[in-house]
Amino acid sequence: MLKILKNLKQSWIIIVFIIVLLCVQAMADLNLPDYTSKIVNIGIQQGGIENAAPDVVTKQTMDKVLITTKEDEFILGNYEIISKEKLSEKEYEKYLKKYPNIEKQETYRIKDVNDDTLDKLNLEMGKSLMVVSMLEEPETSAMIKEQISQALKNLNVETENIHVQDYDQLLQQDIFTIAKMIPEEQLNMLVDVINEKYAQMPDSIIEQSAINSVKVEYEKLGANLEKIQNNYILFAGIQMLGISLISMASAILITLFSAKMAGKLGKVLREKVYKKVLSFSSTEYRKFGSASLITRNTNDIQQIQNLIPMLFRVVVYAPIVGIGAFLKVLTTSENSMTWIIGVAILAILFIIGTLFALTMPKFKKLQDLIDKLNGVSREILTGLPVIRAFNKEKYEENKFDNANKDLMKTNIFVNRTMSFMMPALMFIMNSTMLLIIWFGGQNVDQGVLQVGDMMAFIQYTMQIIMSFLMISMISIMLPRASISAKRINEVLDELLVEDESGTTGVEKLVSKHLGVKDDEKIIASDFCALSGLTNEVYLIDASIIIDYFERNESSIPYDAIKSKGHIIKYSYPLLLDYL
């Protein structure tokens, strides 16, 4: 097979271009599930708000956030007060248009930060905003105030802000006012308890839960939440559409150039085989047979030509998509469901391996049966007068029918066996999707997985399975194409029958009967072979025939040629010994 593929070196520019396009298509396909996840998680569930760290936040809320975290310096270091003095007029008008109420109250805005800082800020702000939201609930607030008051009584704590006789009055105060009044040590203990509670939750769930608090802040500042959501979904959808168009364009160009390259390879192989066959003597013809040579120059080359486009997809596209999707699953999704992918892959390999073991012997037999059918057909067509003369029509019909039935039975067996593959693979794919939804739904219910992440996990899993399916399909096509490649190489590598002096059978025969000396060279193409009415053959000097044609003679006198010593009369059996 590798020897056949060496004929592609003339198309190396197209090959490089196809490989680049396959990489582009693979990367585009791998990015599509991410956008699906973003549209569901951020666009729908989070209302188009990407970060738990709000772009703008009121000073009142910021003060509450700073009470509930130990990272107050970090948070304040990445926010700044919005004011006309610090911002340009154009920038201030932009904020005022998006958040009309910033003129009514003092407001912070987030600074330009890098991705790492933003991730940490999302986590810290997300935790604090969740705590603030929880503490603002009346029932939770009353319960915590009671616990603080009781704890201070038990410890008999007295500070400059709280006196022993004032403990009962604490219940009348705001929870955040109380937090400012209690000793720093007790406040830090409370913050530690809160952090331990949220330490078990995934960062993504914390950030998503804090989005509701961010929405409340944006509403306070007069932002249009519906517009924010629609803009995010529209922008993400346009990006997704653009990536899909890139993938589609790449697929079209890949198909176009692969077809051209495969057609060019088929042309080159047919030319080589045809020229090689023209140089064959009767020895080589008898070795291969006319029917087999026809099959090798048509059906076998067609098998190679059909394999080439699929081969590039499997060698380049399938590994990139399969490995890339698996890495995406490990890095962006819940890893507790990766065992489902392993089970699906093992099931696919089992089915493909079973079908492969059943059909491979038949694939090899198919080419031999095609040779046999071509041989019988050719014998019938070339010997039709003789068949009719000897009344052998029924015999030849049975002979053709037997060859045709053998090919039909083999094809039916292969097709019936392979017909089980797609239903079985579809069953595996649907079962895999069902398992992901079942266990993913439980994770969503427990709050450890988002719906969009589960959808992305399904899409990545399907990409991994499809990659293995492509590899499995090529494993079925490749053996048959390898057999065809071997048959083509047998013709191209065939050594012509020559004696020690490098003279072929025809040249040897002519030299002997014309009395040519050993140091002279007779070229077989200088002679024409004519068969007589009896079991005889005549080798005639081609120049004599050309001379008579130039003189518009309708026939060549036998005695005239014989007298010049340019004609050889010989029987077929003895001639074949030389050839």
The DSSP string of 183-206 is -HHHHHHHHHHHHHHHTTS-HHHH
Query: What confidence tier does 151 reach under pLDDT thresholds 50, 70, 90?
Result: low
Structure-block tokens of residue 417: 């066996």
pLDDT (mean) for 489-504 = 64
What does the pLDDT read at residue 500? 44
- 531 neighbors 569 (Cβ within 8 angstroms): no
Dist CA 462 CA 325 (whole Å): 9
Query: What is the longest distance spanned by two Cα atoms in the chain?
Result: 149
Comparing CA positions, the residue from 92, 108, 90 lying closest to residue 100 is 92
Comparing CA positions, the residue from 236, 231, 323, 235 lying closest to residue 33 is 236
What does the pLDDT read at residue 242? 94
> What does the buried/exposed string (b/e) look like for 296-314 if buried means 16 or more CB atoms within 10 Å of the residue's CB?
bbebbbbbbbbbbbbbbbb
Share of the chain above pLDDT 70, in %: 73
What does the pLDDT read at residue 194? 65
Helices in 383-450 by DSSP H: which ranges?
384-389, 393-419, 421-446
Backbone angles phi, psi at 177, to 5 degrees: -65, -40
What does the pLDDT read at residue 480? 72
- 316 neighbors 25 (Cβ within 8 angstroms): no
Q: Beginning with the edge strand found earlier in the chain, give each strand of the sheet holding 567-571 in spatial order.
A: 527-531, 536-541, 567-571
**Residue 562 pLDDT > 70:** no
**Per-residue pLDDT tens for 105-120?**
888 888 888 888 888 8
What does the pLDDT read at residue 453? 83
What does the pLDDT read at residue 85? 76
What does the pLDDT read at residue 234? 94
pLDDT (mean) for 502-525 = 45
Token pair 């044609």 in the structure block, residue? 549
What does the pLDDT read at residue 92? 85
Residue 289 or 539, more confident: 289
267-270, long-range: CB < 8 A, 24+ apart: 268/7, 268/10, 269/4, 269/7, 269/301, 269/304, 269/488, 270/297, 270/301
Comparing CA positions, the residue from 463, 470, 464, 475 lying closest to residue 353 is 475
pLDDT (mean) for 544-572 = 52
**Per-residue pLDDT tens for 519-546?**
444 444 445 555 444 444 455 555 655 5
- 175 neighbors 141 (Cβ within 8 angstroms): yes
What does the pLDDT read at residue 520? 41
Share of the chain above pLDDT 90, in %: 6
Backbone angles phi, psi at 538, to 5 degrees: -120, 130
**Residue 361 pLDDT > 70:** yes
Average the pLDDT over each of 78-87, 98-107, 113-122, 165-174 and give the range with the smallest value: 165-174
Four-point Cα dihedral 89, 92, 97, 101, nearest 10: -130
Average the pLDDT over each of 256-260, 434-438, 475-479, 561-565 and give the range with the smallest value: 561-565
Strands (E), 12-118: 56-58, 79-81, 107-110
**Residue 6 pLDDT > 60:** yes
The SS3 call for residue 541 is strand
Dist CA 383 CA 176 (whole Å): 107
Residue 424 or 159, more confident: 424
Q: What is the mean pLDDT of the chain?
A: 77
Structure-block tokens of residue 25: 């298509």
Comparing CA positions, the residue from 478, 492, 495 lying closest to residue 1 is 478
What does the pLDDT read at residue 330? 79
